[in-house]
Chains A and B, each alone.
Chain A
Amino acid sequence: MKFAIQVNEGPYQHEASDSAYQFTKAALEKGHEIFRVFFYHDGVNNGTRLTTPPQDDRNVVQRWSELAEQHGLDLVVCVAAAQRRGIVDEGEMQRNGKDANNIAPGFRISGLGQLIEAAVQSERLVVFGD
């Protein structure tokens, strides 16, 4: 089955990203397709490579990046939500005249249409939030 996943909260503050990750991993292990993981609201904060959690804790951001690499996952960060919260890729950096970018490997920044498209294309939308 084809799933779309929506993550509404950032890492660590809420369990939402952990739950979404475990769900996504379990779905892939069962042979399902994850059409897209869409990060919205504070969920865009899952997409910064500057996160440095203590070594005895899970690395939520890196875990998503690794899962994306292993399975060719499409991790999309909402551009409007990202601009508000300072999640920046190369293109956004240049477009908005910023001096740095911070997008983590495997993530890309794109529009809200990507969430709608994911919901249209997938057989299920599963939302994780606060």
Chain B
Amino acid sequence: MSILHTVNKSPFEKMSLDSCIDHVKGESAVLLYEDGVYAALKGTGAAEKLASVMETTKVYMLGPDVKARGLAADKLLEGVEVVDYAGFVDLAAEYDKVLAWV
């Protein structure tokens, strides 16, 4: 079975992303939203961690939260797919269940 893991915390403040990544299995996916989107900032330890799971696991980020925080595309890790709220809904439906790392 597969899980959509959602992370809404900045990796610079909380360890939710670390904890999430330590429990992700290949067929699952990670969605960064709210302050979780800061994890996609290029050149950071968080982005490195994301890149390491991206070989086996899809990583998404919520566009409206990225935009609200002024994060330009050139500052963000390549390969993280941007979705809108409708895309969030699609992901929640596509994977067997959702685990919120609140």
| Interface of A toward B, CB cutoff 8 Å | 1, 3, 8, 15-16, 19, 22-23, 25-27, 29-30, 32, 124-130
Contacts and interface: CB of A to CB of B under 8 A. Distances in A.
Q: Is the interface of A mostly helix, strand, loop or mixed?
A: mixed
Interface of B: 6, 8, 33-35, 64-65, 84-86, 88-90, 92-93, 97-98, 100, 102
A26 B63 CA distance: 14
Nearest to A3: B92
Given A125-B97, A125-B98, A126-B98, A26 B92 contact: no
B102 A19 contact: no
Given A8-B102, A32-B89, A126-B92, A15 B97 contact: no
Contacts of A27: 89
A15 B86 contact: no
A58 to B, nearest CB: 13
Contacts of B100: 126-129
